[in-house]
Amino acid sequence: MSEKFDSALKEIFECSRGAFSVVTADENKKSQLTFVGPEQDIAEELIPDIELRVGNKNEIEAAAGSKQVKVRRWPDGAEIDLTVGYKKKKGQKSNELRMYLNRDFKPAPGINWCVFDRDGQLWVGQFSPNAFQLGVNAPEKLTKSIRPLLEPELDDFQETVNSPDVKSVQSVLTRWKRNPKVAAEALSRAKYECEIFPDLQTFKIKGKNRPFMEAHHLIPMKVQPEFEVSLDQTVNICCLNPLSHRMLHHAEYEEIKDVVSKLCGAREDFLKELGISSDDVLGFYS
C-alpha cells in the first residue's frame, strides 16, 4: 500500500508531491519494486517514454533506446540509472510498473522507499519508519516542521575533506554550503584523534602518515536557517573515526546520549552563542 506525502514530508523532501511504501523482503530479494497508486502516477507523468517501456529489459531497450531512466537519488542528489518498465502478462502489457534495483539504489526490507517530484524531476529515496520523529527536547524554534534530525554525511564529502586538494562544495539537499577546508581544519586541530573512541585504531590514508578521520557537524547544517551564526565552523565539527560517525547516525539513542553530551560539553561556549543547551542538541539524536 502506498501513502501520499503530507505537507510535512513535502517540506522535508522539498517537493510538490510524493508517495512512499514499505519494501518487502521479497522485493529486496528479487531486486525490484512495484509502483503502487500515487507512486505510479508520479512515475508515469515524469518518465517521457514510459509507454515504450514494456516487457523484459531487452524489449525495453529495443523499444526505448535504453533500458534505464535517469533519476535523482535522495539525499545526495546523485543522478543514477534505474531500469523501469511495465510487466507483460500473456504477451500483453499489464498495468504493473516495476523498477529494478541495483547497487546505486537498493533499500532494505522494512525500510520505506519513496518517489517524489522535485521541479519536474523524478527522485527516489529511502528512510526508516521512525526517521522523522522529532525529539521531545528539541527547542521550539527548530520544530517548524517534522524533519530529519541528522544531515546525511556523504562519502564524497569525507573523501574531499581527506584529500590533498580540498575545495569548497555545496550540499544538494540542504543548499547550505559545507566547506571541506573548514572540516579539514577541524580534523587537524583535533590532531586526527577520535573524540568518542580515541584509542580505537583506524587505517592510515594512502601517502599520508595519519589516520583517516571523518567530520561530523554536531548541530546539523539542515537547521542553519534557524541561526544567524554559521554552523559550518570548526567548533561545531567533531573529529570521528568511521565507526563512531556511523554510530551517531544509526545507533539507538540510549547508546549515544552520553557521548553526545560529552561532545556538547567541549562546546559549551558555542552552544551559549547559539542560545541553545546540550538538551536541545540531544533532541536531534533522540
Domain ranges (residues) in the chain: 3-127, 140-285
pLDDT score at 9: 86
Q: By CB neighbour count within 10 A (0-12 exposed, 13-18 middle, 19+ buried), where does 211 fall?
A: middle
Amino acid identity at 95: N
pLDDT band at 234 (very low <50, low <70, confident <90, very high): very high
Interval 213-224 mean pLDDT = 88
Amino acid identity at 272: K
CA 102 to chain centre: 17
Indicate the pTM of the whole model. 0.50
pLDDT tens digits, one per residue of 22-62: 999 999 899 999 999 999 999 999 999 999 999 998 999 99
pLDDT band at 72 (very low <50, low <70, confident <90, very high): very high
Report which of 117, 121, 122, 146 is spatially closest to residue 133, judged by C-alpha positions. 146
Neighbours of 203 (CB within 10 A): 9
The β-bridge relationship of strands 32-34 and 112-118 is unpaired
Report which of 181, 176, 178 is spatially closest to residue 163, judged by C-alpha positions. 181
Looking at residue 228, what DSSP letter applies?
S
pLDDT score at 65: 92
User: Between 2.40.330.10, 3.40.50.10540, 2.30.42.10, 2.40.37.10, what CATH number should domain 3-127 receive?
Assistant: 2.40.330.10
